[in-house]
Structure 1
Amino acid sequence: MTQEIFDWPNRELEAAQTLPSRYFFDPAIFDAEKRAIFYKAWHFACHPNEIEEPGQFVVVDIFDQSVIIVRGRDGEIRAFHNVCQHRGNRLVTERRGHVRTFVCAYHAWTYGLGGELRGAPRTERLEGFDKSKFGLKAVRVEYFAGFVYFNLYEDAAPMTNLFPGAEAYFLDLCPDIKDMRLDSEEDMVVPVNWKVIVDNAIESYHVMLSGPCHKELADFLDFEKDLPICRGNWWTLGGPVKPGLDKMFGVPIGDEPYQTETYMNWWLFPATCLYFVPYTDLVSTFLIIPTGPEETFVRFGYYTPNRPETKITSACKDWMNGGLGPEDIELNLTVQKGLKSFGFDQGRYMIDAERSAESEHAVHHFHNLVHGALTSHQ
């Protein structure tokens, strides 16, 4: 692949022009992103309470790679490549489950929860067969900010090194993280490039200017303090509500429990977002997994403490699912179509000197991370 494909003219911050449009549909660039970014990234797996008992597991797919995250009999959480070590059959096809052992549906090779090969029919007939050499291949796992993450790359830097300060920031926003449980999860495939979705989600320039739910969001946010802040490989977007606010989503703000008084999107590069809506008793996940140059798998999750749902929390979920989310998806779709136009290649970021709530400096920062990963990988 020639270096010219990654050229990004006029990228200096104060007068920067956006990534060339080919970054959002070129198969060669997408293939490079798979190798340089996503195969080496830390990926969100689950909350520990999702696999609370020995044998409970979740499966996460990243392109052609599939990973099992499972609670062992010793209480430890481990991850393994989801593939039998006999003939390469995909071992588990379910998203979630609860097992005593993992049994391959092809030839019944059986693995313990620690990945060890427990049984393999007729291998006693093989000379020198050593079961200890045919266990499942391990994948790196870390606990970070109350959740479980995995990395396919053995030499990846620890998350605390890659995202300094991010864990403490998150835990301050979510005091009930240890008690959180998955309330609901929804998957969808959106026919756009993954960066289109991230770009839309990390700038507030469009919030007061697009659909009715976005304008409603602007009505309760204090935009003078709603600032995108770039912190290296992680960044935040959000701020407090307007002074004197007494209701949200048509529901009075009362004495019900909540996580934070701040609206906040908390991002880890490349595409993991957890976010908070003020006065709601939940933390939401927004996981972006590209599946093609112009196709992205998106997984939304709601995690709530183990107590009755509050009225504002319920109203917020309805508002997100039925209003704000669909408005953003529609914007994603029309942007992807426009990026293919012969009449467009680069635009101008709206980056003001104040780095205000409406500035797109976080989008420029994100594009720099993508560009840097691609060019350093060559």
Structure 2
Amino acid sequence: MENMAEKTVVELAALQKPGHSLDRVFYVDEDIFERDIEVIFGRQWLFVDHVSHIPTPGDFITFEIGGDSIIIVRGKDGEIFAHHNVCRHRGSTICQKPEGKVRTFTCPYHGWVYDLSGRLVHAKNMGEGFDRSERGLHSCAVRVIAGLIFIYLGEEKDAPDFAMMEADVLPYLEPHGLTKAKIAHTEIYTTLGNWKLAVENFRECYHCVIAHPEYTTVNEFVKTNDAVPGSFEANILPEWEEAARDEGFVVGSVALATGLQPYRVRRRPIREGWQTASNDGRPVAPLMGNLKKFDGADTAVDFMPQFGLHSTSDHTTLIRFTPIDPTHTEMRLTWLVHEDAVEGTDYDVERLKWMWHVTTLQDAELIANNHRGVTSRHYTPGPYSVREEGTAAFVAWYLNRLINE
């Protein structure tokens, strides 16, 4: 395959073979990485965090993406704002810490002061004619769905239709009460490998029987579909859905496979006799939301390109992928429980995080191994299995965005 000196990104994207993994250059090249940041991450809604991380006015966190730093802050009236962490004077970074609590934002360089909404309220010795109203922080669009904070880095008029995503996803999330949840634990896993390798891995379970014995033990669909692809959905899911529907639970799935920002949401049983996704199937925390009983189901949401979640009756796991550079990716997992749950009494962090923690450690090594292979001069793209349809769909969407933006 030609290198970047011979072909443009768009030309290289158009040359990729459908149904196959990408050429080496897409996983290592700096120019393609910068294009990914601009076209993919700059033009989709990005998940940042859960609202309980910034519960009161003045609470803030920062989110780093593609060389940009974004301040996410709770305003004085409870509204959530997102501002670029760049002073409008001479460009200094304003917030030096990843999180904290402030009354105002003060630039450490020349002391310009901004209120929580991003408005410039003080700038000394600027002379006549200086208009503070023209020097507020550059802000990003913010949306919150079920306690989950999303931002859009581009012009809001160009953003994917968030209302449509919300309408499809919210009925599945509302029973889990994520607006009445709190963060029990957060863990960051940094892996060697391009962000696309991490997302490709996340979107298929063809590897699960081989690489994830713990996940496979908990989730019945893995071995069932490994033996006969699609047999879980054909033979087990319909009967379970009928029973769950009779009890008032949301069932089925919704997916938008194309467009600016594909997403999917579905609900399915964990395995017979399992109440939640734990090492023994027993509860690890109190029931969440308005659930009255453990129904043994897993609600999964996937927002391309960098967010997924899994909600069971007693806890939710949030999964965020963030590209660091062309060959390193951060996977950040956050576990939510009911806001009234008490650590050490109602839940134990080690039991709570067990399945996704061990699975993500394994994934980090799988991704690193994959990276080492695709950087070889002898690597050539291979065909996807029928069990990798989610990954194939992601790669097709990704190439389409590169070509058509």
From 230, 234, 253, the counterpart of 2:263: 234
Deviations 1:301-357 (A, max 9, x none): 112212235458751413432x22211111111111111223321111111xxxxxx
Separation of aligned partners in 2, 1:337 and 1:249? 32
Deviations 1:149-198 (A, max 9, x none): 111111333543563654225424x5211111122222343220111111
- Amino acid corresponding to residue 29 of structure 2 in structure 1: D
Give the Å deviation of 1:74: 2.3
What is the 5 A alignment of 1:119-158? 119-123=122-126, 126-154=127-155, 155-158=157-160
- Per the alignment, residue 295 of structure 1 pairs with 328
213-222 or 83-92: which moved more?
213-222
Counterpart selection for 1:7 from 11, 14, 17? 14
- How many residues align structurally? 360
- Distance (Å, rounded) in 2 between the aligned partners of 1:254 and 1:316: 6
The corresponding residue for 1:376 is 404
More deviation, 45-54/247-256: 247-256
Q: Distance in 1 between matches of 2:316 and 2:47?
A: 14
Alpha-carbon displacement from aligned partner over 1:281-309 (angstroms, at most 9, x marks no partner): 22111111112111112222112212235
Question: Which sits farther off after the overlay, 306-315 or 338-347?
Answer: 306-315
What is the aligned partner in structure 1 of residue 41 from structure 2? 38
* Distance in 2 between residues matched to 1:196 and 1:152, nearest whole Å: 23
Q: Point out where structure 2 has 5 or more consecutive residues left out of the alignment.
A: 1-6, 226-231, 238-251
Per the alignment, residue 366 of structure 1 pairs with 394
Residue 244 of structure 1: how far off its partner (Å): 3.3
Superposition RMSD in Å? 2.7
Residue of structure 1 in register with 2:272 after alignment: 243
- Calculate percent identity across the aligned residue pairs: 26
Which letter does structure 2 place at the counterpart of 1:257? L
- 1:50, distance to aligned residue in structure 2 (A): 2.2
When the two structures are superposed, what TM-score results if normalisation uses the length of structure 1?
0.86
TM-score if structure 2 supplies the norm length?
A: 0.80
Q: Which residue of 1 aligns with 2:170?
A: 168
Deviation at 1:98, TM superposition (A): 0.8
* Amino acid paired to 2:395: H
Contact 2:320 2:331 in 1 (8 A): yes
In the alignment, is the contact (CA less than 8 A) between 1:283 and 1:302 conserved in 2?
A: yes
Alpha carbons of structure 1 residues 139 and 36: separation in structure 2 relative to 1, 3 Å: same
Stretch moving more, 110-119 or 20-29? 20-29
Compare the two structures and name the one with the higher helix fraction.
Answer: 2
- Report the alpha carbon displacement of residue 251 of structure 1 after superposing the two structures with TM: 5.8
Q: Which amino acid aligns with 2:196?
A: K
In 2, distance between residues paired with 1:135 and 1:39? Answer: 21
